[in-house]
């Protein structure tokens, strides 16, 4: 029994250490940029030794990818949860409102994500992992669009639900790129809302009509 309790304590401590390293790395990467950060700086920000780092990660690249995966999965859950409230039908403007209200539009995250994208573009293995994450996000959106009943068909120019999901992700990418430059979070949310409504309908919001 004592051995089991000790093992559980060690596991909890390890989980906590890993989480603290990821949180500290996020702050350091956002402030300085990937490629300008050392393992020592991450350890110092987290209050741990290099030994604690290497007991959780083999390299700074591995930590960076774990950080990206953590945030990307959070965004995928936000989108899925926002779309899950519609039941069998899909009220596109209402769904767009929910998604854009909860969607993570954090400037520090966008800086880290952009660094990761550049890093992935130079490393085929990392690029493949990033493509897989983006594919899962698109699949969640496409599945919701494909299962929806009782809403107007998608604009013909988009083709099927998968193509529409690609357009949604592309719109998010474009709006967040602008956000990195002008730092206008409220403006980005409003523009993303308008853009997604226009993409997924004929551009009009039926709630504005009597």
Task: Output the 3-class SS for 16-35.
Answer: HHHHHHHHHHHHHHHHHCCC
| Cβ partners under 8 Å of residue 150, min gap 6 | 88, 89, 90
**d(C-alpha 201, C-alpha 78), whole Å:** 22
Question: 104 in helix, strand or coil?
Answer: coil
**d(C-alpha 93, C-alpha 110), whole Å:** 25
| pLDDT at site 22 | 94
| Cβ partners under 8 Å of residue 192, min gap 6 | 100, 103, 171, 172, 175
Element (H, E) at 61: helix 60-83
| pLDDT average per 10 residues of sequence, the chain (210 residues) | 61 89 93 90 94 93 85 76 65 77 82 86 86 82 70 70 86 90 92 86 50
For residue 128, what are its two tokens?
Answer: 């493949």
| pLDDT at site 89 | 62
């Amino acid at each position: 029994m004592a051995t089991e309790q000790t093992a559980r304590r060690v596991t909890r401590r390890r989980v906590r250490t890993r989480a603290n390293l990821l949180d500290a790395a996020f702050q350091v990467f956002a402030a300085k940029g990937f490629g300008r950060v050392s393992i020592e700086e991450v350890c110092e920000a987290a209050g741990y030794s290099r030994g604690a780092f290497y007991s959780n990660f083999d390299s700074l690249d591995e930590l960076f990818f774990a950080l990206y995966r953590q945030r990307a999965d959070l965004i995928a859950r936000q989108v899925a949860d926002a779309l899950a409230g519609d039941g069998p039908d899909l009220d596109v403007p209402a769904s767009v409102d929910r998604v854009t209200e909860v969607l993570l539009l954090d400037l520090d995250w966008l800086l880290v994500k952009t660094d990761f994208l550049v890093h992935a573009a130079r490393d085929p293995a990392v690029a493949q992992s990033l493509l897989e994450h983006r594919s899962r996000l698109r699949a969640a959106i496409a599945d919701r669009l494909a299962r929806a009943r009782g809403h107007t068909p998608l604009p013909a120019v988009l083709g099927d639900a998968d193509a529409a999901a690609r357009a949604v992700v592309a719109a998010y990418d474009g709006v967040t790129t602008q956000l990195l430059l002008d730092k206008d979070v409220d403006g980005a949310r409003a523009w993303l809302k308008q853009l997604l409504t226009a993409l997924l309908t004929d551009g009009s919001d039926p709630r504005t009509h009597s």
